[in-house]
Structure 1
Amino acid sequence: MAVIKTDSHLHTPMYFFLVNLSFFDVFYSSVMVPKLVQILLTKNKTISFSGCLVQIGLTFFIASSEALVLSAMAYDRYSAICNPLVYVMVMSKQFCVFLTCGSCLLGVTNSLINTLPLLRLHFCGPYFIHHYSCEMPELLPLSCTDLFPNKMILFTTLVIFGFGCFFPIMFSYTKIISVILKISSASGRRKAFSTCSSHVIVVTLFFVTGVGQYLSPATGSILEQVISLQYSIVTPLLNPIIYSLKNVEVKIAIKKM
């Protein structure tokens, strides 16, 4: 974020979205890690109900916003590679800001839609969450209230946000790859394909593990916790490496800095 901010050559739509993606990655890690560190240091494994709701609400907000930003990034690359003649007109600064603000607004909306119905639930015990953080699939089974409305809201929003972001991203990268295959230079084709394939792998892991985790019933297994680590820690760790540090322009800017 600092490198992109200080280097004027990187003030383009692609890097604008990368700054926002980096912000959400930092935010995502900050939601869970501080509480987890406190638990590990103090051995006090409790969290208040309000603290649990905050974790769940922020997780929904960040995950939804990040998914939408990834969609915007895929559209930006699609415009740059498939429609280069109108790219500057389409991806104007105002449009980029609009997409980012829209992502945040929709993320907040999704968070409130899923989090506020939790206030109607009654918890009769046990109060033990088989997880290292508060997440919706692990919290719902602890309630003795009818969970059908909550599950329907969760399912509906996951389908709308999950598949509504995933398929446009895949469509964009399919078009991009089809253009890349027409590049005459073998080295250029290999370089472009390597970058796109990395993006597709990270995006696929993020969506498949995240949506799959929330759609499946919670069992408290080790596998569920490992999958949760993947989309909450591993993906934010890989994003700056794949989207930024593999980029030649960013490498040059870092050396200058």
Structure 2
Amino acid sequence: MGTAFRPARTSPASWDAFANVDAFVDAVLAELTAMAVDGTRSARSGPKPPLTGTALRRAIMAIWCVCFCGMQWRAIGLLCDIAFGTLYTLFARWTRLGLWRRLLDRLILAWRQACGDKPVSSAVIVDSRSCQSAPTCFTRGFDGGKKIKGIKIHLAVDKYGFPLAINVSPANRHDSRGIVPVLHQLAGRGFKGTALGDLSYRGQRLSKAGKALGITIQPSAGGHDGTFIPQGIRWVVERSLGWVSRYRRLNIIFERTEAHLVAFIEIAFISILSRRLVRLATQEISA
């Protein structure tokens, strides 16, 4: 499972999330249009007309700023001159309609095609990250190993580091238990293959649960004496968790529902992917 892969060609540049915010906004607008066409997104009913044009672009950018900058809804509402209740309602409604997961799936597929890879991954890499949470968060637990009181994010990513399944749990839940909902999500998406992970995913109970879903759990040591040692493609999930840490809303968790936390994780990866795809398209045009 440690074979090399050819990533899509992108120019080396310093990491700047603000460089292509318009790419994120354009991607969300395109997905909203597609959802309206296929009937997934019904017209909103209410006394106030829905946001359109420039106001809608500002609202989408404001949601991105909440994720990346860690701003409060009230603060970003004042800055963009849109009532914070309107912004939060938009975010909650789009989350309920599955906008973020649908858009992320489309971008992952586009990236895999740009890399000349198959649409369906044959292997995934799983890992978790414990994050501190506020007392108002939907749940809390104490991770004794990392001395963190909060929640734990469980990811299953492809070899490019983009998430195919996400789950969140209290930080005191062991990785071998927290990853089970992720395996069910993968199975629901039709994944049949190998899940690579560290030694936290050992055990007959998890192995049997994986086999029942058609997924083979393959744990292996990822380090020695506290030193991380890259093994095959196992390292890509560590990079994905590093990407997530750059988005401040995902460093200290304030969300009161699991769905909203998962939505912000998806928004972070949508931001990364949309920026990469725009940069790739620009290179192809100039070539």
**TM-score with structure 2 setting the length:** 0.27
Which has the larger share of strand? 2
